[in-house]
Structure 1
Amino acid sequence: MTAPSVLVHRDLDLLAEAAAARLVTRIADAQAARGAASVVLTGGGAGTAVLAALAAAPARGAIGWGRLDVWWGDERFRPAGDAERNETGARAALLDHVPVDPARVRAMPASDGPDGDDPEAAAERYAAALRAAASPGGGPVPVFDVLMLGVGPDAHVASLFPGRPALHDERPVVAVRDSPKPPPTRISLTFPSLRAAREVWLLAAGESKAEAVRLGLADGADVSRAPAAGARGRDRTLFLLDRAAASELHG
């Protein structure tokens, strides 16, 4: 796994604008090199702020939106269109405002989807979609260009919470029940899938995230205590923070 780099911005607004600009560049570069690009989105305050900043950025025209594959790192297992779903927030902030190809926007199944109220079946359905999009012989998931993750106050990422079995699951996608953060039922990528990304960006803003950020960056951190410490990219790992979230870092 790559050693993380830390970039600190004055506040959430500047963090979101800077991350959006960086995302334009990464997507455009990937499309120039390989014809298409893939991103994995996250919810939460910082993740949604980045998407809103991207929607407002004049440079968004540099992205070939019809050649962009959109995935999610986790999802609340709620009905389609529910306000708690990460997909709903992403559509409102960005996806409804840009010419993405609907067939390339791969939302995680909803609880009123084809699998009904069965999160295990829904997780396997998403895993099958990832396998179908992966390069032949290249593993169970695509090599994502950028995978964004929020960092929770307890240092969770995606829906991988401290001390929970999903931290050690080798399947690409898992159902998460009894989440300590509501809603209790979720679907999440696992560490092997997160680590398939070329770049992993961990986003955190606010003083409530400071301890989690410190744990996520600590040398030899216990991933079972601080899942953020286990989220690393193949080529690059970035912690994109505001000053408050970085307040417990030293040096």
Structure 2
Amino acid sequence: MAIEVFDTPGLLAQAVARRLAARVTEAVSAGRTPTVVLTGGTIAGKIYGELAHDADWRAAEYWWGDERFVPEGHEDRNDRQAREGFLDRFEVPAEHVHAMPAHGCDQSMAEAADAYAETLPDDPFDVVLLGVGPDAHIASLFPGHPQVTETERRAVEVFDSPKPPPQRISLTYPALNHTRATWFVVSGEDKAEAVAKAIGGAPVEQAPAAGARGLEETVWFLDRGAASRLSS
């Protein structure tokens, strides 16, 4: 595990954008289709805004760690943020964008979660991006909720998210940890306690972020605020 601390959220976003471009380029050069799991939130939006024409973003395929089960195009959708932030800007082909089902589809949430799991690649993802909440949740895996202990299903329905909206679909550890690299991207002093708990090895039932890790690489990208409770 590595920890990288940046003075500002802007510098954090620039660094992650550069690193993601390099990782996508590396996969393309190796003759592979880059596979990336995206996240939502303010710092994710900053990262997407920093992405430039320094990688073949059209060559990659994209999934999401979780999604709010609201209608397609709703402002709360993580996929809308990513489409507006960079997918549409780089004209990523529709078949490379694996959005989670939306409210209004002809499936129950459980059926939608299972259907989404079927879209996941057999090989490990290249990169999973994860934000962390003030309660140390990742994706829609929340402290004390049963989804944290799921070991078989790769995507699950969430009916009672403590953070609105309450209905969501989330990848689980069997999917999130099937990745070459896990990158936590965390900004703000309000996340500092959660970061310290997760890095300090708190039980996953208390700090779900503690249960996520890459097969080859796990990096915490933090700004000064998010890192403020780490011991030096």
Same fold by TM-score greater than 0.5 = yes
Residue 31 of structure 1, CA deviation: 1.3
Segments of 5+ residues of structure 1 without an aligned counterpart are 135-141
Structure with greater helix share of residues: 1
Out of 77, 92, 96, the residue aligned to residue 85 of structure 1 is 77
Q: Percent identity?
A: 47
Contact kept? 2:58, 2:90, Cα under 8 Å:
no
Cα distance per residue 1:80-102 (max 9 Å; x no partner): 00000100111111111002121
Segments of 5+ residues of structure 2 without an aligned counterpart are none
Contact kept? 2:36, 2:125, Cα under 8 Å:
yes
RMSD of Structure 2 on Structure 1 (CA): 1.0
**Equivalent residue of 2:227, what SS?**
coil
1:127 alignment partner in structure 2: 117
Distance 2:142 2:88 in 1: 30
1:96 alignment partner in structure 2: 88
Contact kept? 1:35, 1:67, Cα under 8 Å:
no
**Equivalent residue of 2:221, what SS?**
strand
2:32 alignment partner in structure 1: 35
Out of 169, 184, 192, the residue aligned to residue 166 of structure 2 is 184
TM-score (norm 2): 0.97
Residue 112 of structure 1, CA deviation: 1.8
1:222 alignment partner in structure 2: 203
**Equivalent residue of 1:153, what SS?**
coil
Out of 215, 218, 232, the residue aligned to residue 237 of structure 1 is 218
Amino acid at match of 1:100: V
Contact kept? 1:145, 1:199, Cα under 8 Å:
yes
The size of the alignment, in residue pairs, is 231
Distance 1:43 1:65 in 2: 18
Contact kept? 2:188, 2:223, Cα under 8 Å:
yes
Amino acid at match of 2:39: T
TM-score (norm 1): 0.90
Distance 2:47 2:19 in 1: 10
Mapping for residues 47-126 of structure 1, pairs under 5 Å = 47-54=44-51, 57=52, 60-61=53-54, 63-115=55-107, 118-126=108-116
Residue 127 of structure 1, CA deviation: 1.0
**Equivalent residue of 1:212, what SS?**
helix
Is 1:197 the equivalent of 2:179? yes
1:138 alignment partner in structure 2: none
